Amino acid sequence: MKKILVLTGSAIAIAAGAAIAQDKELTIVSWGGAYSQSQIKAYHEPYTEKTGVQILNEDKSANALAGIRSQVEAGNVTWDVVDMLQADAQRACDEGLVLEIDHDEWLAPAPDGTPASEDFIEGTLGPCFIPQILYATMFAYNTEAFEGEGPQTIEDVWDLEKFPGTRALQQIPQKNLEWALIADGVDADQVYEVLATQEGQDRAFAKLDEIKDNVIWWTEGAQPPQMLADQEAVIATAYNGRIFNAQVNEDQPFEIMWDHQMFETDGWVVPVDTGNVDTIKDYLYFATDSQRLADQAKYISYGPARNSSASLVGNHAETGVDMKPHMPTSPENLETAIPFDVQFWADYGDALEERFNAWVAG
């Protein structure tokens, strides 16, 4: 009995030894894959070099809101800085799960002295949210999968006869429902109005039904380029940076279809009760200044969230490709774009997610 206690105790002590001693460490939660790589190169590595603070990466952003919620409720917060979507950040902020941020105190001014609160692109800063990038979700396809020209519009994506094959869609209602309505003939600027009604929701799901048998679902951003490469799918929705990465770094024959791309903001939040606030503030001041945001765009084709970063964006770090035409914010890519409505999804997300999950599983 005693022996067992001793054994148990010592085994736990050994294991616990590995877990403590974390004071000069930051746990940063992000999306993994090429996106995390761009953050590591542009933010983490220079920061570690400058300060010696070690950065632990955790690829849990896909479930960031639930993760923060359970950590805060349990009173045991292990995440220091979390990369999350603006819509989720809004909810986390409303629920008091993340710190409120005084932007001008926490963030560096632009090189010309413009305070941070005026330097970030309008509408992107939130009371608890520091934007990093504007990114697009849109359709992309493997050019080898089609004899002639690939799909050019959302209607083409729904045209199974002209463009046969499997579609890979993200397993969330967001954006899929918007595109379904567009494919059904709704005007881009009315999409959210229609989607707020019962009939509009029925209509969107009915439209999705048309292609359901030809859809496979993805959950992580790294999957769609993989699925296109293996031709498990011939058309896929994806984050534009992932497709860019596959085109440039892996020479994949992919083409982005910018028609009705949906762009939204992604950025940092800081969970309450992390205890590490000084280090976190120091990191964020460094990692979100104009140069750092522009540096990230050297590795992945996402638009920096600061106006002052735009002129600093140059060429791709490894291949020297000019990054500007690959940005979701470049004018020709923005022609038919739909801005993602954060408020709409904060209100209708629960109900539509539930319906969507029931629809997928059914």
Q: How far apart are the first and last CA of the chain?
A: 53
Tokens of 72: 């805060």
Question: Going by DSSP bridges, is the β-strand pair 130-142/254-269 parallel, antiparallel, or unpaired?
Answer: antiparallel
CB closer to other proteins out of 79 and 120: 79
CB closer to other proteins out of 96 and 123: 96
Are the C-beta atoms of 133 and 303 separated by less than 8 Å?
A: yes
Residues in the chain, overall count: 362
Q: Pattern 197-216, binding to other proteins, x per CB under 8 A?
A: -----x--x----------x
Does residue 54 interact with other proteins by CB under 8 A?
no
How far is it, in rounded angstroms, from Cα 169 to Cα 305?
A: 26
330 phi-psi bin (left φ>0, alpha ψ -120 to 50, beta other): beta
Q: How far is the CB of 250 from other proteins (least distance, A)?
A: 11
> How many residues line the site for other proteins (CB under 8 A)?
65
C-alpha radius of gyration, the chain, whole number: 22
List 7, 143, 160, 190, residue binding other proteins (CB under 8 A): 7
List 61, 71, 174, 296, residue binding other proteins (CB under 8 A): 71
CB within 8 Å of 40: residues ≥ 6 apart: 55, 57
Are the C-beta atoms of 160 and 167 separated by less than 8 Å?
A: no
| Contact set for other proteins, span 21-40 (CB under 8 A) | 27, 33
| Contact set for other proteins, span 81-110 (CB under 8 A) | 91, 93-96, 100
List 231, 311, 315, 336, residue binding other proteins (CB under 8 A): 231
Q: How far is the CB of 277 from other proteins (least distance, A)?
A: 16
Does residue 277 interact with other proteins by CB under 8 A?
no
CB closer to other proteins out of 74 and 332: 74
3-state secondary structure of 280: helix
Are the C-beta atoms of 99 and 128 separated by less than 8 Å?
A: yes
Contacts to other proteins by CB under 8 A: 1, 3-4, 7-8, 11-12, 14-16, 18-19, 27, 33, 56-59, 63, 65-67, 69-71, 73-76, 78, 91, 93-96, 100, 196, 202, 205, 216-217, 219-220, 222-223, 226, 230-232, 343, 346-348, 350-355, 357-362
